[in-house]
Chains A and B, each alone.
Chain A
Amino acid sequence: MFSKKTKFLSIIIGFFLILIFIFFEKPLKSFFYSSSLPLQKALWQAGDKVSGFFEGISGIKNQSKENNYLKSEVEGLLAQIASLQELKKENEKLREALSIGLEKDFKLEMVSAVGKDVSGDVILINKGAKDGLKEGLPLINSQKIIYGKISEVSDKTSKVILISDPNSSFDGAISGKDITGLVKGKGNFNIYFDLIPKDKEFSKNDLVVTSKLSGTFPAGLLVGEIVDIVQDDVKPFKTAGIKPFLNINDMENLFVIKEW
């Protein structure tokens, strides 16, 4: 079908293309992401709206039940807020008395997700090195829910490895209790809490937050809530399943913490 000359030329061209892809992979990928950014953003927003529409239709029958549940939750939370306000005032007075400075606010950069990696729990955001982003910076939303950290930066885009990716792990703690452990990703937006000391007691629905032990993330960012506890007599530690608060459908307005 093809002449010898054509076959030989195809092999040579193929060889040089392979060399280009090996040595210039990063700049080529960076160029691809930058040029696809407007289209990816449009598709992401369209997907968000369409899925929201279908979710609304499918959720109609549960709305009344959900409303009643949310009303009772709100009442309980209002009572908690009232008691926490008192504690906050007391805390501020004590800090003043002991001359401890208040924690400074984070320096934030607003970003939004434009795509998700086909191979894992990695997302692409619409800002990069030109906006002062660097590898290792955490990504949160406005409710201080931790989403992940930046793994790769190019000029106009960055890749963020989500906390549910199997390659992700960081120190976590159970809010209000002196219990720390390692939060690890399982893939497909699942995470679990590992290396929890056996003698520590905690229960379902306990909140898991980030801990500042290793310095990966600032302390106190919301991770998720405990859904099940696994205690194996053979293993020296407990593990617990966590339902993460991060939501793939709520990635429009996210923030990268540039300084903490």
Chain B
Amino acid sequence: MVKRIFILFILFYFLTLLQTSFLVHFPFFLKLPFNIVLIAVIFINLFESSEKNLGFFSAIIGGFFLDFFSDNFIGFNILILVSFSILIKFIIRRYVRIPVIKRI
């Protein structure tokens, strides 16, 4: 678990740098409210077993880096991404029954 969290740390650090320094040069990404960190958090939560909590940690780490590279106070994006994570887990646990998705 600690190893996975460390990998998430490195992954989200690079995704945030990519978002703030590389993708800004492409008009397509500027015009849309495009956030690759948010997309990564959503995908991790979607394809993870609803009982596991790696998605929750990915939301905290992703939000942490987004707050550091923005003008908002630390905790703003963490709250948003954690809410997304909890919402996705809730919907999957309650309403989604797709046996073909391989659980991580």
Q: How many A-B residue pairs have CB under 8 A?
A: 72
- Complex CA gap A36/B72 in Å reads 18
Q: Is B21 in contact with A115, judged by CB distance below 8 angstroms?
A: yes
With a CB–CB cut-off of 8 A, which chain A residues contact B74? 21-22, 25
Q: Is A248 in contact with B25, judged by CB distance below 8 angstroms?
A: yes
Most buried by B among A21, A32, A48: A21
With a CB–CB cut-off of 8 A, which chain A residues contact B70? 117-120
- Complex CA gap A40/B72 in Å reads 20
With a CB–CB cut-off of 8 A, which chain A residues contact B35? 118
Q: Please encode chain A, from 232 to 260, with 1 for each CB lying within 8 Å of some chain B CB and 0 for all others.
A: 00000000000000001100000000000
Q: Is B25 in contact with A117, judged by CB distance below 8 angstroms?
A: no
- Complex CA gap A32/B66 in Å reads 12
With a CB–CB cut-off of 8 A, which chain A residues contact B69? 32, 115, 117-118
Q: Is B17 an interface residue (CB 8 A)?
A: yes
With a CB–CB cut-off of 8 A, which chain B residues contact A159? 71
- Complex CA gap A118/B22 in Å reads 12
Most buried by A among B21, B23, B31: B21
- Complex CA gap A188/B31 in Å reads 7
Q: Is B83 an interface residue (CB 8 A)?
A: no
Q: Is B19 an interface residue (CB 8 A)?
A: yes
Report how many residues on chain A are interfacial, defined by Cβ distance under 8 Å: 33
With a CB–CB cut-off of 8 A, which chain A residues contact B22? 43-44, 46-47
Q: Is B66 in contact with A189, judged by CB distance below 8 angstroms?
A: no
Q: Is B68 in contact with A32, judged by CB distance below 8 angstroms?
A: yes
Known contacts A115-B24, A120-B71, then 15 further A-B pairs from the complex at CB < 8 Å, ordered by chain A residue: A25-B74, A32-B68, A39-B17, A40-B20, A43-B22, A46-B22, A47-B25, A117-B20, A118-B35, A118-B69, A118-B70, A122-B71, A188-B31, A248-B25, A249-B25
Q: Return the 10 tightest CB-CB contacts between A and B, nearest first.
A: A51-B25, A47-B25, A43-B21, A47-B22, A119-B70, A115-B20, A116-B24, A21-B74, A43-B22, A40-B21
Residues of chain B at the chain A interface (Cβ within 8 Å):
16-26, 30-31, 35, 66, 68-75
Residues of chain A at the chain B interface (Cβ within 8 Å):
18, 21-22, 25, 28-29, 32, 36, 39-41, 43-44, 46-48, 50-51, 54, 114-120, 122, 124, 159, 188-189, 248-249
